Amino acid sequence: MEQDQNAPLREDVRLLGAELGTVLQEQAGEALFNTVETIRQATVESRSQGEMPVGRLRELLDPLDDETLVEVARAFSQFLNLANIAEQRHRERLRRQHQRFPGDPDTDRGLRQVLAELKNAGIDQTQIIDVLQALSVELVLTAHPTEVTRRTLIRKYDRIGDLLAKRDRPDLTDEESAHLHRLLREQTLSIWSTDEIRRQRPTPVDEAKWGFATIEQSLWQAVPRAMRGVAEELSAADMQALTTDWVPIRFASWMGGDRDGNPNVTAKVTREVLHLARWMAADLYLRDVENLLADLSMHRASDELLARTGPSHEPYRLLLRAVRDRLRNTRAQMEARVAGQPEPAGDNYTHGWQLREDLALLDRSLRTVGLAAIADGQLKDTLIRLNCFGITLLRLDIRQESTRHMQAVDAITRYLDLGRYEKWSEEEKQQFLLEELQNRRPLVDQGFFESEYCSPEVREILDTCAVIAEQGSEGLGAYVISMAKKPSDVLAVMLLQKAAGVSQPMRVVPLFETLDDLNNALDTMSALLALPLYRERVAGGQEIMIGYSDSAKDAGFLGAAWAQYRAQEQLTAIFREHRVPLTLFHGRGGSLSRGGSPTRTALLSQPPGSIAGRIRVTEQGEVIRFKYGRPTVAAYNLQQYIATTLEATLLPPAQPKPEWRSEMDRLTQASVQAYREVVRDDPALVAYLRTVTPETELSRLALGSRPARRKASGGVESLRAIPWVFAWTQMRLMLPAWLGTGKALETGLSEAPETLRSMSDEWPFFQAVVDMLEMVLAKSDPRVAAWYEERLTEDPELQRLGVELRSRLARTVAALSRLTGRENLLDNNPAMRWSIRVRDPYTDPLHLLQAELMARLRDRPEEPLLESALMVTIAGIAAGMRNTG
C-alpha cells in the first residue's frame, strides 16, 4: 500500500529534479551541471552503503572557486525546495484520498471519524452540538522564526504546486500535458534566475504584510471551504445544522505587536499595522462585493430589503453599491492614516457588525423569497469570512517583557514621591496596584511626560497603551506578559491600561516560560484569584500562555514537556474550582524542542480537561507556509483543529496512572540534570556553539526584524530560543530536542522498564514524546556534525565536547530503540523515513559546503561572494530539514 500511495510523489520529485537539471545545463553550463551531478551521485552511492562521503565530497569541493561554490550551493538548495513542493502537493493528493475513502486506515483522521467515535462512545448529539457551537480555536500568526524563503520565491513555488495539481488530471490531452510541461520549465527557470537571499532585514511592518498575504492568497479561500466541509460532515452524520453565524476559527497575530526584546516594534509601528490590516480587510471585502454585484441581479426581494432600498428592479445591487462605496471610503481612510494624510470624507465601516447587518439583510431577503440556494453561494462565503476575520482581518496581540512594565510603574511612583516601586515587596506592590485600579482620579498628569522620570523606554510603554486606547478592542487580542512571575506583573499591565484611558482593556495574559515560572504558575494564579477585584475582572474567562521555547532552553525538551503538562493540570483545576473559563494559549514553534508536532498529536497529548472547547496556538514562520500556504491544505488543517478540539473536549485522554507520574518525576530529574550539566556547567559549550555551528553567521541572514540576542554579549542565557535551535539544526546535531532525554530513558529502562513501556503504549502524552523524539533523531546525523567540527576547530576542549555530545546522541538512539523495540528509527513510518532519506544526497553537500564556507568566511569576513554562498546553504539546509527553529 505504501509503495503505490507514494509513487506519485516519487514521480513528481523525479520530474522537478530533471527540470532543474535541464535549466542548470542551459543557464550555468555543462561543466557546472556535471559537477553537481558528480557530487550528487557520489552522495547517493555512499548513502546507499550507509556511509557519509566526507572524503570523496571534500575531494570534489576543495578545488572549486568561490563563484562555483555559490552555484553548487544554489543547485542543491533549489532541489530541496522543489522536493518540498512535491511533498506539499502529495499531501493534497492524500487529503483527496481521505475524502474519497474515509475508511482507509492509511489516511488521516478527520471530523467524520471523530463524529463516528463520539457516537460509538454514546455521547448525545445535543452535547456534541453544544460543544461545537461554543468551540473556539484561535491561531496566532507570528513572524519568528521568520520564513527563510523570500516571498517572491514562495509565489513561484506555489505556481509550481498548481501546475503539479493540474498534471494529476486523468483526462489531460497530449497538448495540455506538453503545455503544462513548458510552464513547469518556465517557472523552474524563473526560480533559478531569482536571488534566493533576502538582502535587507524585514521591518515589523514587512512581517505583518507577509501575514496579510497569507490570508489574501490562501486563508481567504480556505476558511469558507473548511466551514462548508464541516457542515457537510455534520449533515452526513444526520446532525442538526449549527447557527448560521457559526465560525469557530479566528486569527490573531504578533507581527507588529510583539515588542519583547525587539526595539523595532514601537507604538507607531503597531498603529500602522492596525491601519494596514483594516485597509487589507476592506480591500478583500471589496473584491467579494464586486463579485456579488455581478451575481445578485434578481429582482424578487423581501419587504425588509425594499424598505431599505425603495422600489427597485435590482434591490440587491442597489444595497451592494452602497456597501461598495462604504468599503471604498474605509479603505481610503485607512490609506490616508498610514500615509499621514488628511482623511477623505465619507461614510465608512468602523465596526464589523455594521457590514454584517448589511450582508445579513441580503441573506434574509434571498431566503424569504425562495432563493436560499443563491444565499448559500458566494454571499455565504463572504459572511463566513466576516465572522472569521471581521473588518480588522485579524486581532493583534501586544507582547512585552514584565520588567519593562515594572520600570514604567516605578517611574510613576518616583514622580509621585511614593518611593521606588521596584524595591517594594510583592505585597506592597499588590496593595498599591489594587488601590490605584479602584481609584477614579488620573494616575499621572501631563507633567509626568515632561519630567526626567519619563525615559524613552517608559514613554514607549505608555505610548503603546495610548494606541490601545485609541484603536478600540475590535482589532486587538491579548496583552501577553513574557517572563511573568508574580501577581503584580499582571496587575501592573491592568493599571497601565487604565492610566492610558483604555475603556475596553485588552485581556492580560501571563506567559509562564521558564521551568521555575511553570512550576510557580499555580501559586501566581491562585494569589490573583484570591483577590476579589481580579476575580470580578476575569469572571468571563482567563487566558494563560504556556511557553515552550524558553522552558526547553532552560531545562531541556523532556523536563520542559513535563513541567508544561503539570502546570496545565494545576491551572485547569484551580480555574474549574473558581468556575472561571480557562483558555490555554500554547506558544509552540516548528521544532520539537519548541513544542512542534502534528495538530492531533499535540492536542490529544494535553492533560484531560485542559482543552474544554477552547484552544489558542501560535503558528510560526515556515510552519505557516507548510500548513496554510495553499488553500486546500489550509482548509484541511483548519478542519483538523476543529475535529481534534472537539475530540479532546468530549473524549479526553484518561488521567495518567500514579506510577506514571512518579516515573516522569524521576525521568525529568535525570533529564534536567543531564541537560544542564552540558548547557550550564560545561565551560566549552558556548565556544563550541559559536565555533562549530553557524550560530554567529546566522546574524548575517536577514531573517527577521528582531535581534537574535536579548543582550549584545553573554552566553547561552542571552541567546533567543529560535537561533539556539536553528544553529544546532543546521549542523544536524539537533541538540535541544534530545539532550538529557537519553539519560532519562536509560534510567527508566534500567530501573522500571515495564512502567516505561506501559507509558509508551498507553499514555498519549508520553506516546507523543516518544514519536516526536524518534522523528528528530532520524533527522540528526553525527557524521555530519563531526565534519563541521573537523573543519572548524582544532581546540582539544571543543573536540572533547564534540565527542561527548555525539556519544550522548548515540546512547539516546540506542535507548529509544530498546524502548520501542524497533531496530531502525522510523521503521513504523516508512513515508517519513523516505522523505528524510531522499533529501540526504542534497543536504550532505550543503552541510560540507557550509562548513567550508564558514571556514573561508572567517578568514575573509568581508568577502560578499562567500557570504552569499553561506546564506544559500543556510536556506537550503532549512528547506531540507523542513524547519529553522
Q: Which residues are catalytic?
A: 144, 553
Grid coordinates given for 73: 550551493
Grid coordinates given for 220: 481567504
Q: How far is CA 472 from CA 205, 274, 351, 466, 468, in A?
A: 20, 11, 10, 10, 6
Task: Please check whether residue 254 is in contact with residue 705, taking contact to mean a CB–CB distance below 8 angstroms.
Answer: no
List phi, psi (to 5°) of 482: -75, 155
The kind and range of the H/E element at 397 are strand 395-401
Rounded to an integer, what distance in angstroms lies between the CA atom of residue 533 and that of residue 108?
Answer: 47
- For 50-59, the CB contacts below 8 A with 24+ separation are 52/781, 52/783, 52/784, 52/787, 52/844, 53/844, 54/783, 54/787, 54/790, 54/848, 57/844, 57/845, 57/848, 58/848
Grid coordinates given for 538: 476575569
Integer Rg of the chain from CA? 28
Rounded to an integer, what distance in angstroms lies between the CA atom of residue 236 and that of residue 229?
Answer: 11
Q: How far apart are the first and last CA of the chain?
A: 33
For residue 881, the one-letter residue type is M
Instruction: Tell how many helices (H) and how many strands (E) occur in the chain.
Output: 40, 8
For residue 37, the one-letter residue type is E
Q: Angle CA(73)–CA(75)–CA(79) in degrees, nearest 5?
A: 120
- For 382-386, the CB contacts below 8 A with 24+ separation are 382/285, 382/288, 382/289, 382/292, 383/244, 383/245, 383/356, 383/359, 384/223, 384/224, 384/227, 384/247, 385/220, 385/223, 385/224, 385/284, 385/285, 385/288, 386/285, 386/352, 386/355, 386/356, 386/359
Rounded to an integer, what distance in angstroms lies between the CA atom of residue 384 and that of residue 28?
Answer: 49
The kind and range of the H/E element at 646 are helix 631-650
For residue 313, the one-letter residue type is H
Rounded to an integer, what distance in angstroms lies between the CA atom of residue 618 and that of residue 141?
Answer: 6
Report helix, strand or coil for 215: helix
Beta carbons within 8 Å of 162's beta carbon, 6+ residues apart: none
Grid coordinates given for 395: 486581532
Rounded to an integer, what distance in angstroms lies between the CA atom of residue 548 and that of residue 489?
Answer: 20
Rounded to an integer, what distance in angstroms lies between the CA atom of residue 666 and that of residue 148?
Answer: 39
Task: Please check whether residue 568 is in contact with residue 546, taking contact to mean a CB–CB distance below 8 angstroms.
Answer: yes
Q: Which of 815, 699, 809 is nearest to 760 (CA)?
A: 815
DSSP structural state of residue 464: H
Q: Which of 454, 406, 433, 392 is nearest to 257 (CA)?
A: 392
Task: Please check whether residue 528 is in contact with residue 493, taking contact to mean a CB–CB distance below 8 angstroms.
Answer: no
Q: Which of 10, 161, 163 is nearest to 89 (CA)?
A: 161
Any bridge partners for residue 396, and if so which? 253, 476
Rounded to an integer, what distance in angstroms lies between the CA atom of residue 39 and that of residue 59?
Answer: 10
Beta carbons within 8 Å of 99's beta carbon, 6+ residues apart: none
Rounded to an integer, what distance in angstroms lies between the CA atom of residue 529 and that of residue 524?
Answer: 9
Q: Which of 652, 595, 648, 647 is nearest to 618 (CA)?
A: 595
Grid coordinates given for 618: 501560535
DSSP structural state of residue 629: S
